[in-house]
Structure 1
């Protein structure tokens, strides 16, 4: 389970907004169940046009993912785009880390002397000397 922190700067983050964000962020846990926390920041900028900025940071052990989306006052599409970006990052992260195979340890590799001794032993066993 993860903790979800939603904050709004110059934006009202009422129950509807929080439910929408929580519902969309729950999709991320299907891709990676090790998510420990998600922080979402909703912000508006008033320059020439009113722009909605949605940012999120997702923490998983050993790594943080971050995404941001800027749109024109449309919350649902902005959150969907944000989740899409985070999903891509999670898939990429998962592919990197699950693709790692067991690293060969120097102790796991037979030396040439050990191979020769094993071959001699196998030969003696075949001749039924041992």
Structure 2
């Protein structure tokens, strides 16, 4: 999986990079067929913003963002949102495949 971390008006420290890569492991445990993840950390007035865009092998594009006073908290919340979206996407794909199998069993039974 390709991973890109960038900052707007924020210097990316090694601690931030390590925090993001630690959270990235949780996504790869859920689905090993992820294509890429782009994380942008930025500063908007007094709010620290973290936004991430995740591409899956099925072509889905998942996006999440979080605004918090602490950058590490906003990173955690953003990854929680991505995990929730990824789980929902996987359930949808699995349900679709199960429905196709049931339909085929009725047709060719």
* TM-score (normalised: structure 1): 0.73
- Structure 1 runs (4+) deviating above 3 angstroms are none
Structure 2 residue runs of 5 or longer lacking an equivalent are: none
Tell me the CA shift for residue 99 of structure 1.
1.1
The count of corresponding residues between Structure 1 and Structure 2 is: 103
Higher helix share: 2
| Higher normalized contact order (CA 8 Å, seq sep 6+, divided by chain length) | 2
Q: Which has the larger radius of gyration?
A: 1
Higher strand share: 2
Do structure 1's residue 64 and structure 2's residue 54 form an aligned pair?
no
Structure 1 residue runs of 5 or longer lacking an equivalent are: 111-130
**How many Å separate the matches in 2 of 1:30 and 1:9?**
29
Alignment of 1:78-97 (within 5 A): 78-97=74-93
